[in-house]
Structure 1
Amino acid sequence: MCGIAGIYLLHNQHKPDHQILSLMNDSQLHRGPDAGDYFYQPSIGLAHRRLSIIDIAGSPQPMQSANQQACIVFNGEIYNYRELRQQLLDKGYKFNTNGDTETILNAWLEWGEDCVHHLRGMFAFAIWDASRNCLFLARDRLGIKPLFYSLLDNGQFVFGSELKVLRNHPDFVKQLRDSTIEDYFSFGYVPEPYTIYQHSYKLSPGHTLLLQHGIKALPEPKQYWDVPTQWQQPLSEQQLSEGLIARFREAVDIRLVAEVPLGAFLSGGVDSSAVVAMMAGLQSDPVNTCSIGFDSPKFNETDFARQVAARYNTHHHENIVSQNDFELLDKLADLYDEPYADSSAIPTYRVCQMARQQVTVALSGDGADELFAGYRRYKLHQQEESFRNMLPLVIRKPLFGILGKLYPKLDWAPRFLRAKTTFQSLAMDTVAAYHNSIAILRTDQRDRLFSSAFKQRLNGYNSLQVFRRHGEKVSHLDPMKIAQYLDMKTYLVGDILTKVDRASMAHSLEVRVPFLDHKLVEWAFSADSSANLKDGVGKYTLKKVLQPYLPDDVLYRKKMGFAVPLAEWFRGPLKHKLQDKLLSEVMLNSGYFNVAELKQLIDDHKRGLKDNSASLWTLLMFAAFLERNS
C-alpha cells in the first residue's frame, strides 16, 4: 500500500521541477513511510511513497521495466500476480523482482490498455511509456484505491493518491465547484468523478485515462468495467446458498498473502465476523482481531466481538474509547482534504490507529451491505415501492406532493408518525425517491439553507442528477437492484471506501476488502433480490449460509453501526463550538448560506424541537474545510 504522485508536462520536453514534486510527494508520507523515490525523464516526473507488504526486500518504486521502456508508480495489491507472472514469463518477459508491481509493468507491455482486465485486486497506478510517449492511469473496478488528477493552466498534468498532493502544487487553483457543494449537502461527500475544486477530478472506479504528449484538453476517461446489470437469469436463493461460502472463502484466501503481520477488524457485526470466520479456517495461526468499543452501552458492540473472538480463539485486541471522543474534529478536515460528513470517520480512525499497533494489514467486511442488501433503507425502499406500484405517478405526484409539503418534520415523534420524507418519496419515481430518502438535507431543506445568490449560480442544478446519470444504466432492473447499484456507484466509493482509505493510511495500515472482490461481485450481484431481502431480513441468504459459522445473536440482532452521539454532543459539550463554527466569519462571508436558516437549525436542535444533528455535522465539516481553504 502506497502513495503515488506525478507531473506530466504536456507541451514541452523539460524535466518537471524536483522541488515541487518532492513537496507533493512529502504531503502523503503517511501513506508510505518505508521508502520514497523519484523518476525523471523529459516531460515526466513520477514519485512514490512505499508501505512494504510484499517482496519487502525488492520492488522499489518508481520501477522501470527490464527493457527500460516503461516506468510505473503503483498503489494497491494484485492478488493474482503470481499466476500472471508465470503467464508473462512463458511469453518471454523478464522479471527482476518477486512482487506484483513488475507484473503490472509487463502486463502493460503485453496488452497495453487492456492490461487492467487481467488484474485482480485493488489498485491505482500510472505508467509512463517512453516509446509511446504517453501516460496511462488506471483505478480498480470498485474504487478501493483513490486517484486524483488535474490539468493546470500551464499545461502540467498532475496526479496523486490524495487531493492534498495536487493542492501542494503552487499552480493548483483552489476555486470551488458550485455543483459539488450542492452534492455534498445531499450526500455528505463529493461523488465521483468530481472533487470540491473546479479543475480537479477523481478517476472513477473501473476507468482508465490515457494521455498523449501535446494534447490541449483532457480526454474522457474510458470505462473498462462496471457492476454487471445484464444476465440471462438471476441466481436463485438456492444457487446463491450453494456457491456463496466457497466463493467468499476464496476471496478471503487470496487476501492473506503478506510478509508483514496481518489481521482483521472485528466489530461484532455480521460482515467483519464472517471475514474472521473464513480466515480462521484458512490459516493455522490464530487470527489477529482488532475491536474498539465505547463506554456507552448504546454504542458498544464489543460483547458480540468477544463472542466471535472466543469461538475462533483469536488473538483479540480491544480498546474502549469515550463516547465523547470528539478531539478529532479539527483533524478530519486535514485528513479528507474536501468536505466529508460521515461521523463514523471518528471511530474508524480509532480502530485503524489501534490495529496498526498490532498488524500492518487488516481485512474488513466493507461492501457486504451494498452487495447483499443489508441496509435498513433497502427494506423501507421496497415497502415504498410496493405502494408506488398501486397508483400511477400522475396521481401520486400531486396527492403525496401536497402531503409532503404540509406535513411537519417530527423528529421527536414515534417512528410511524415521522411521515414527511415518506410522503415526499411516494410522490416521486424510484430513483428520485431513493435519492430523497438517503439525502442528509432533502431538496426542500437545501433550498432553505442556501442563499438566493448561490441558488442562482446553481442555475437549477440538483444533486439528483448524480443518481439520474447512474440510474439510466439500470432502469430495466427491479427497484432493489437499482438502489444497490446506485449505492455501489456513489455511497460505497464516495463514503465508505474513502473513509477507510484515509483513516487507515493516516496510520500506514493497509486494508483489504474481500466482499469487494470483483469476481464475487460479478457473481453475487446477479442474485434475485428476494434472495437478499426476504421476510424483512436483509442479507437473508448470506446470514443463512453463515449460520454454521456464527451465533444467531451476531447474525440476527439489530444492526448497530459505527455511530457517535452527535445529537447529545451538539446539545452539550459541543454546543458552543458548533455555534462559533457555523456562524463564523468564513461561513457568513462565503455567500453560500441563508444565515437565518443556519441560526434556526442550531436553535431548533439546542431546544430539542428537532434532531438536526446530521445536518449540523455536515455544516460543521464544511466550515472546517472552508477555514483551511481560505
Structure 2
Amino acid sequence: MTGWAATYHFNTTAPVDRDALCRMRDAMKSRAPKEAGDWVSEDGRVGLAARRWPLFSDNTAAAQPMHSYDHRYRVVFDGAITNYLTLKQHLYDIGYRFFSSSDTEVVMCAYHRWGHRMLHKLRGAFSLAIWDAHERRFFAARDPFGQRPLYYSATDQALRAASTINALLADGSIPRTPSLAGTAGFFLWGTIPEPLTHCDAISSLRPGTYLVADDNGVQAPTTYWSGAALYNDTCAQNTDEAEAAYALRTALLRATSRALTAFDTRATGVLLSADPASSAILAMASEAQPDPVRTVTLCLEGCDRGPNSLAQRAERIAAFYGAQHTTVTLSRTEFRNGLEDMVDAMDQPMAGHVSSWFVARAAAQAGLQTVLTGAGSDAFLGASPAFARTAFASFVSVPTRIPGLAPAMGALLDGLSTTDRFTRIRRLNHPGSRMVSAYFAGKGLFMPWELADVMGSENVQAALQAYRPLDDAQAHIGRGHPFCHLSALWIAFDLIQNKIRHFESAAAAHRIDIRLPFADVDLATAMAAVIPGLWSPFNTRRLLNAMRPLLPSDWLKPRDDLFARPLRDWLAAQHTSLRADSPRRAWAKIVHLRAGAPQ
C-alpha cells in the first residue's frame, strides 16, 4: 500500500515547496505509515514523494520515489501488477536489467520500452506518476477499473496529484470550495461520480485514463480502456453454453492465478460469502495454488447459525474445497464503534460503504494481508436478480414512451413491486438508451426532483447544469446488444464507482490488499465475446459449471439474502433517523453531514 504525491511547476520558475510536498505525503501516514521518501529536481520544478506500507517487497531497493539507473525516470506507484513476473522476464530477454524484486521497477522499465502503450500490457491495480527528465514530461495513469485512486488539481501554472484528496488539500494552495456538482452526484448515486469530487478545484482521474503534462501545460486526459469501448471493440461470437462455460472457466482461472502471483499464501485468502461468485473464486484459488486456501466469513452477532445460515453454508463450502476457514463474528459494540471509524476514514462521502468496511476489518483480524473477493461478476455475467429486474424494467417501460399508451401502461403496472421504478422511468423521460433510465431508476439514491430536499432548492439548478446523471450514464454505453448497454453501465457505476471504491477505501484503512479477479481486462474481453448472445436472467449455472469439483447448487444463495439485509436492518436500529426514510438514503444524509465537505 502506497500513498504518493507529485507537484509539477510547468509555467513558473518558482521552485516546488518541499515542505508542502512533504505535508501532502505525510497526510497519507494512516494509509502507509512505515516508509517515507521525497525528491525534487535540480531545477526545483518537479517534486515527487511517497509513503509505503510494503506488504510484499520490504527492501530499500524498492523505496520510492524510485529512479532508473541513468536517473532519466522517477516514479511513484501505488498498487500491484499481477503479471509483473511475465513482463519482467520479457524485458530481461530484450536486455533490461533489474536491481530489485519490485513491480515498480518493472513498470518503470516498461514505460521506457513502450511509453503509454505499456498500459495495455499491465494487469492488476495501479495509480502511478512518472517524470521523464529527458522529454520533460509528466505522466500519470490509473488502471482500467480504478482499483487505486488518483486525484489532481491543475492551474495555468502548476499540476498537483496525489493518492488522496486530503493529501492535495494539505499542500495549502488549493481552494477548499465545495463542489455543487459533486454534492448532487453523491445524492444521486450514493458516491461521487468521477471525475467529480466534493472539492471544486480537485478532479479524479477516471479509471482507464492517463494524463500528460509538459512545459506547455496539462493535456486533457486520454482514455485507453472503458466498458463502452470493450463492447465496441469486441466481436460477439456465435457460441453455445458449453463454450461460454469453458471461456469463463479459462479466463477466471487465469485472473485468479495472477491475483495470487508471488504472494505468501499463508497471508492470502478469499472473502467467502456463500454466493456463487465468491465460491467460484475459492474454487479457482484452490486449483491455482498447492497450499490450502484460507477463507474468512463475517457474521453478525445474534444472527441465525442454523444449517442454512451464512456461517454454516460458508463453512460447508470451505470444507468442500479443503480451505482453512475462519468465521469472524461482529458484535453490536464493535459495529457501533466501527461506524464512527469508517466515516472518519472517508476521503469522500460514500453511502454504501458499510459491508465492505467490516468485511475488510474481518480479513485483517484473521491475519490476512491479501484477500480475493468475488465482487464484480454481475457486470459481465448479469446473473443477479438486480440485473434481471433492470433489464425487465427497460423492456416493459417502452410503451410508457408512447403518449397514448402511457396511462394504460401505468395502470397495468400498478401492483407490481417495481411500480416505483416505472414511475421514476416515466418522470426521467431520457431520450437515450432505455437502459439508462431503467438503470438509474433502480440504482439511483435520490432522483433529480428530490435534490431540493437534501441540498437546498437554491443550489439544485446550478448543480444539475454542471452534472447531468443520465447524460453521464449514456456516455458509458457503446454499441451492440441491449445486454452490452446494461453491462457497460454495471461496469461503470456498480463495479467501478461503487464496489471497487468501497473496497479500496476499506483496504487502505485496514492496511490489507483486496483483489477482484473479476475486474480483469482479459476476463472482461473473453466474456464480452460470448455472453451477450446467450444472456438469460438468473443464470448462475455458468459460474457453477466453471468450478472444479462442481459445487452442489443448493448450497448457495445470493449474498444479499444472507448478509446485506440483516446488516441494513441492524444499521437502521443504530440510527433512529434511518427509520423515517429508506436506510440507504437516510445513511447518505448522515455521511454527508460528517464527510461531505473538504476538510
Length-normalised TM-score, structure 2: 0.89
Residue 115 of structure 2 aligns to a residue whose secondary structure is helix
Is the contact made by 2:212 and 2:221 (CA closer than 8 Å) also made in structure 1?
yes
Q: Which amino acid aligns with 2:456?
A: S
- State the shift of 1:152 in Å: 4.9
1:254 matched to which residue of 2?
Answer: 258
Quickly say closer, same or farther: Cα 1:538–1:51, change in 2 above 3 A: farther
- State the shift of 1:565 in Å: 5.2
1:494 matched to which residue of 2?
Answer: 497
Quickly say closer, same or farther: Cα 1:249–1:568, change in 2 above 3 A: closer
Residue 402 of structure 2 aligns to a residue whose secondary structure is helix
Greater displacement, 238-247 / 122-131: 238-247
**Counterparts of 1:244 and 1:376 in 2: how far apart (Å)?**
20
1:340 matched to which residue of 2?
Answer: 350
2:335 equivalent to 1:365: no
Is the contact made by 2:126 and 2:143 (CA closer than 8 Å) also made in structure 1?
yes
- State the shift of 1:33 in Å: 3.2
Quickly say closer, same or farther: Cα 1:531–1:555, change in 2 above 3 A: farther
- State the shift of 1:497 in Å: 0.6
From 427, 446, 455, give the equivalent of 2:451.
446
Q: What pairs with 1:157-168 in structure 2 (closer than 5 Å)?
A: 157-168=159-170
Is the contact made by 2:3 and 2:51 (CA closer than 8 Å) also made in structure 1?
yes
**Counterparts of 1:200 and 1:329 in 2: how far apart (Å)?**
27
- State the shift of 1:238 in Å: 2.8
2:282 equivalent to 1:281: no
- State the shift of 1:107 in Å: 1.4
1:271 matched to which residue of 2?
Answer: 277
1:431 matched to which residue of 2?
Answer: 436
Where structure 2 has 5 or more consecutive residues not aligned to the other structure, the ranges are none
Q: Which amino acid aligns with 1:351?
A: V
From 28, 45, 48, give the equivalent of 1:46.
48
- State the shift of 1:67 in Å: 1.4
**Counterparts of 2:404 and 2:26 in 1: how far apart (Å)?**
56
Residue 231 of structure 2 aligns to a residue whose secondary structure is coil
2:246 equivalent to 1:245: no
**Counterparts of 1:400 and 1:32 in 2: how far apart (Å)?**
59
2:80 equivalent to 1:77: yes
Deviations 1:485-538 (A, max 9, x none): 012112211111111011011111011221112111111123233634x3x424
1:204 matched to which residue of 2?
Answer: 206
1:100 matched to which residue of 2?
Answer: 103
2:462 matched to which residue of 1?
Answer: 457
2:591 equivalent to 1:621: yes
- State the shift of 1:87 in Å: 2.4
Length-normalised TM-score, structure 1: 0.85
2:553 matched to which residue of 1?
Answer: 552
- State the shift of 1:134 in Å: 1.4
**Counterparts of 1:459 and 1:266 in 2: how far apart (Å)?**
40
- State the shift of 1:176 in Å: 1.7
Greater displacement, 157-166 / 186-195: 157-166
Q: What pairs with 1:458-473 in structure 2 (closer than 5 Å)?
A: 458=463, 460=465, 462-471=468-477
**Counterparts of 2:127 and 2:569 in 1: how far apart (Å)?**
40
**Counterparts of 2:358 and 2:277 in 1: how far apart (Å)?**
19
From 54, 59, 63, give the equivalent of 1:60.
63
Quickly say closer, same or farther: Cα 1:417–1:374, change in 2 above 3 A: closer
2:325 equivalent to 1:316: yes
Is the contact made by 1:397 and 1:426 (CA closer than 8 Å) also made in structure 2?
no
Residue 515 of structure 1 aligns to a residue whose secondary structure is coil
Aligned length: 579
- State the shift of 1:293 in Å: 0.5
2:358 matched to which residue of 1?
Answer: 350
Deviations 1:377-421 (A, max 9, x none): 2211222233245x37323784379769x98xxxxxxx8355232
Give the fraction of aligned pairs with identical amino acids, expressed as a percent: 25
Compute the RMSD of aligned alpha carbons.
2.8
Is the contact made by 2:301 and 2:330 (CA closer than 8 Å) also made in structure 1?
yes
Quickly say closer, same or farther: Cα 1:122–1:571, change in 2 above 3 A: closer
Residue 506 of structure 1 aligns to a residue whose secondary structure is helix
Is the contact made by 2:81 and 2:122 (CA closer than 8 Å) also made in structure 1?
yes
Is the contact made by 1:371 and 1:525 (CA closer than 8 Å) also made in structure 2?
yes
Deviations 1:600-621 (A, max 9, x none): xx7xx44xxxx52221111111
- State the shift of 1:131 in Å: 0.8
- State the shift of 1:112 in Å: 1.6
Q: Which amino acid aligns with 1:451?
A: G
2:27 matched to which residue of 1?
Answer: 27
Q: Which amino acid aligns with 2:295?
A: T
